[in-house]
Amino acid sequence: MTKPVILTGIRANNDLTIGNYFGAIMPIIDMAKKHSDEYQINMFIPDLHSFTTPIDHNLLYDQILHNARVFVAAGLPLDNDNIYLYRQSYIPAHSEMTWVLDCFTGFGEMSRMIQFKEKSGSIGDDRTSVGLFNYPVLMAADILLYNAKYIPVGEDQTQHLEFTRDIAERMNGKFGDIFTVPEPVKSQHEFFGNDQGLRIKDLIDPTKKMSKSDESGRGVIFLSDDPAAAAKKIMSATTDDKAEINFDRQNQPGISNLLEILALTRGVSLDSVITEFKGQTRYGDFKSTVASEVEKFLSDFQTRLAAIDDNAVIKKLEQSERDLTPIANATLLRAQQVVGLRPKSNS
């Protein structure tokens, strides 16, 4: 395994939405296929991250396997030897490295993390876990264990990536060449492209993104939704009173969102859909077209998902975990040696 490493994670809990599918899953799969000849692709399921906020633990194990199956149904090839699919918690070095990095991380650094402030504010002090506070350190361990150079991250994760670079440089400066320092955010965007995936908007409030944590579910289409029920959600989507179909995110966010959904579910360019419907005035007919395509997309996807061989998925997970454990352990050993937990090599 001498190829440079691209690493990305697949969150394990909660049902996934079409926003997750088109905005994250498909870009990740396309990236993996595109770069797997020249790069080692590490795709891991961050199951330890899954309960930094409260969840139903009775569902987690099944959700881990389910989300792996979703990626396979979306086109992830299980027979590509350069693509590794593995569970974070099945490689104990992730947890062990986190503790080592913890002890060289400042309380102030973690306190300044924007995601922690936002999520802890919505949970409340009494229910905010140390795990949520500590999340970026575990993320740094996830990356540094495998000498990863490239990590596709959205805007909400750029601060965590910069922390990963900081802690790697700090440890290298104190102890010598231990870690591979990931490329900076600017270089990441240049490598992957600035567009890290589209953000499909909520059907009821098209000014905010479609979120799987939405409690009502009215504005969200989940991959597990009954296709006919999903079509009804499209028909109930918020539009406007302008009575003319135009792509204008600021003034017609609802219509613009539906145009994007239509293009994605059809697998065509947004421009072609805009041209097809530009200036039309019958919102009901337009919604019916979008609803039909969403219903067809979900039916086709759910058929593919039901046909996935669980044994093949588990076999891929277990083989990847066997292959990557020695790499993670070698990095962990270097860190343990320099901090004095293990004897240094004589060579």
In the structure encoding, which two tokens stand for residue 157, read together?
């994760």
- The Cα 150–Cα 188 span in angstroms is 6
The verdict on whether 208 is a catalytic residue reads no
Q: Which of 3, 34, 117, 119 is catalytic?
A: 119
Number of H helices, E strands in the chain: 14, 4
Task: Judge contact between 153 and 196, C-beta under 8 A.
Answer: yes
The verdict on whether 209 is a catalytic residue reads yes
The verdict on whether 344 is a catalytic residue reads no
- The Cα 328–Cα 339 span in angstroms is 17
CA–chain centroid gap for 51, Å, is: 15
Task: Judge contact between 146 and 179, C-beta under 8 A.
Answer: no
Q: Nearest CA to 164 among 330, 344, 319, 9?
A: 9
Cβ atoms within 10 A of the Cβ of 16, count? Answer: 21
Cβ atoms within 10 A of the Cβ of 104, count? Answer: 14
DSSP per-residue codes, 252-269: BHHHHHHHHHHHHHHTS-
Q: Which of 117, 208, 212, 232 is catalytic?
A: 212
How many residues appear in the chain?
A: 347
Q: Which of 186, 209, 232, 344 is catalytic?
A: 209
- The Cα 336–Cα 339 span in angstroms is 5
DSSP per-residue codes, 83-133: EEEEEGGGSTHHHHHHHHHHTTS-HHHHHT-HHHHHHHHHH-GGG--HHHH
- Partnered with residue 264 across adjacent β-strands are none
Cβ atoms within 10 A of the Cβ of 271, count? Answer: 10
Q: How many CA atoms lie within 13 A of 44 on its CB side?
A: 30
- Give the catalytic positions in this structure: 119, 209, 212
